[in-house]
Amino acid sequence: MGEHDMTDAWDGANRRQFPRIVYPCLVKVTCDGEPRETFLTHTENISVGGISVIVKKEIRVFSTIEVEIDLIEDPEHIVATGRVVWSVRRKAIESVKPMFYDIGIQFDDIKDKDKTRLGVAISKFIEKGYKILKPVY
């Protein structure tokens, strides 16, 4: 199965599994590799199953990622590990700006208490009127 096939499978299954909301919170993303790299970014959208973020460098699909999520309204950060399940390069607007990439990270290891806290936070954000993204069929 090719890289594209795995991405399609993830899109079809996991995007429908958890409600995703547009909630811009700070995220520290650390990529395994030599050297380990850390990026401070923000979410494009978030769910209990994973997040979408913007980074300034391409991160390969299936790369292992550590994330630390600052939900702003919760003093304790959410910490999880996961893997990149899709990566899309944004179009360059100006030649002097660096390329940006949207990446989707699926959580593979998140503590039950953090998953619960994230679910509660997402429910509160939905009640406050944050936009829920509908699955693409």
The answer to whether 135 and 10 have CB atoms below 8 angstroms apart is no
pLDDT value at 49 more than 80: yes
Of the candidates 50, 45, 53, 54, the one whose C-alpha atom is nearest the C-alpha of residue 23 is: 45
pLDDT value at 61 more than 90: yes
Tokens of residue 83, six digits: 């893997």
Q: What is the pTM of this model?
A: 0.79
- Report the mean per-residue pLDDT for the chain: 82
pLDDT of amino acid 45: 92
In whole angstroms, give the CA distance from residue 19 to residue 134.
Answer: 8
Element (H, E) at 88: strand 78-89
User: What's the pLDDT band for 119 if we cut at 50, 70, 90?
Assistant: very high
